[in-house]
Amino acid sequence: MTIEVGRIVDGKLVLDSGDSLAEGTRVRVWIGDTTPSVMVSDEELALIDEGRDDSSRGKLIDARAFVRELNRVG
């Protein structure tokens, strides 16, 4: 899974990167507001991918433990 940003042009999704998707590619679209895009670094994207892969393997963390850790590191 990759995260892409784009706009609808003439009823079609056009990616800001200029890349095109293969015919039939399944996508999940989030319709956002017009506020500026969030800039995500390659390192942050890698962490998201790692977390997604961990959850796919069943390696999960309890929500309460997560919030405690989040509060601890501030």
* pLDDT tens profile 10-32: 998 899 999 988 999 888 888 87
Would the pLDDT of 36 be above 90? no
Q: How far apart are CA 50 and CA 29, in angstroms?
A: 21
**Angle made by CA atoms 37, 52, 69, in degrees to the nearest 5:** 85
Residue range 37-63, pLDDT digits in tens? 778 888 998 899 999 999 999 999 899
Give the residue-averaged pLDDT of 6-12.
90
